[in-house]
Amino acid sequence: MQLYNTLSRRLEPFEAESPVGLYVCGITPYDTTHLGHAFLYVAFDVLIRHLESKGLTVEYTQNVTDVDDDVLKKANELGMDYLALAERETKRFTDDMTALNVRPPDHYPRATQEVERIAAMVESLVGSGAAYVREGNVYFDISAYPEYGELSRASRDEMLELAAERGGNPDDPLRDDPLDFLLWQAQQPGEPAWPSAFGPGRPGWHIECSEMSLRYLGGQVTIHGGGADLIFPHHESERAQSEVYTGAAPFVRYWMHVGMVGYQGEKMSKSLGNLVLVDDLLLTHSADAVRLALLTHHYRAGWEYNDEFIEDTQRTADRIARAVYATDAELPEQMETDAAQRFDAALDNDLDTPAAIEVLLELVERIESGAENDGDLGALRATLREKAAVLGLTLEPAQPPPAS
């Protein structure tokens, strides 16, 4: 099996023993789940299922950033308590993931539950000289980590631009270097705060994920994932502070990033409002149709959503369900070996779900042709059912074929 590592910019042999520690950055819960979220979490759901099919166990952690500028802003607009808003939107997200047959993580910590440990981590970084305190704010000194920028491979000018676009504030006069990033933010009027050695405040965005990944998965994470828009500054900064804090490298063995989903000519995002919502799609289409719409694209590829495409994948989902329909008693234990091997080889090749779906459709065509004898048809159906499950397809509603 090979996976593309964002750090090395190449395919690398995947070598790991159970349990495989997987950390995927979770949601900031201030609005509903869109198709870009679904693409991210469905991709890693398939990765987990494939690793498990190879006999590995996966320990999966996903965080919830339930205190954040966006959450606080939205809560104020709605006149809600920020935690009540976060809980409401987190439930909507988990309901959407359940409806899409996405397995829940083993650990699902909220940032607000981890603040005491995060503050201790920040204090350790200050004590080591890798961070400094200014007016109750704590900043990571990027000069303490000479490798800063290796993950994104962005120039300094590009990093400054991206930091400004993605929640940073390079113009903050308290920073020694505009790229130094917040570990702890001093309390602002009307905002929630927790005690710390630096005064009341709340954690910065990046340090939350470092603490949670290290706490729940140990000193090294096997696979760390997220959207491609998190490479900088989030994952770049997370890598820096984690390796300085632990004194060990690498913090992550394989960095995996999922492409962006576009709609109406722009990246799908809450800030732009050009959203295709998962719960809206599921009113008129099956979970399998939505998953196929996502998995027909390689996880690293950016792509543009259109309404016609989901109609095509709904027909494909129905076709697969009809082809696989049979009671368990009718399915033999043996499988169609060549197809099973080609399916596995596709996913071994950097999770090539489009190629894996092609193998499923070949099986469907063979079943539909009825060319094989009954025993062969049973083996084809058994293979189709087992491999469809690796892609997380429910095969529902799987109706019996029409009477001839």
- pLDDT tens for 207-230 read 999 999 999 999 899 999 999 999
- What pLDDT does 250 receive? 96
- What pLDDT does 71 receive? 96
Q: How far apart are CA 49 and CA 373, in angstroms?
A: 31
Are 231 and 6 in contact, with CB atoms under 8 Å apart?
Answer: yes
Contact residues for 236 (Cβ-Cβ < 8 A; gap 6+):
148, 149, 151, 152, 159
- What pLDDT does 398 receive? 43
Are 281 and 314 in contact, with CB atoms under 8 Å apart?
Answer: no
Q: How far apart are CA 357 and CA 363, in angstroms?
A: 10
Residue of 323, 242, 247, 289 lying closest to 392 (CA atoms): 289
Q: Residue 340, by phi and psi: left (phi above 0), alpha (psi -120 to 50) or beta?
A: alpha
- For the chain, list the domains and their CATH numbers: 2-262 (3.40.50.620), 309-390 (1.20.120.640)
Tokens of 163: 């930091």
- pLDDT tens for 71-128 read 999 999 999 999 999 999 999 999 999 999 999 999 999 999 999 999 999 999 999 9
- What pLDDT does 371 receive? 52
Instruction: State pTM to two decimals.
Output: 0.94
Residues in the chain with pLDDT < 50?
A: 327-329, 398-404
- What pLDDT does 198 receive? 95
- What pLDDT does 328 receive? 46
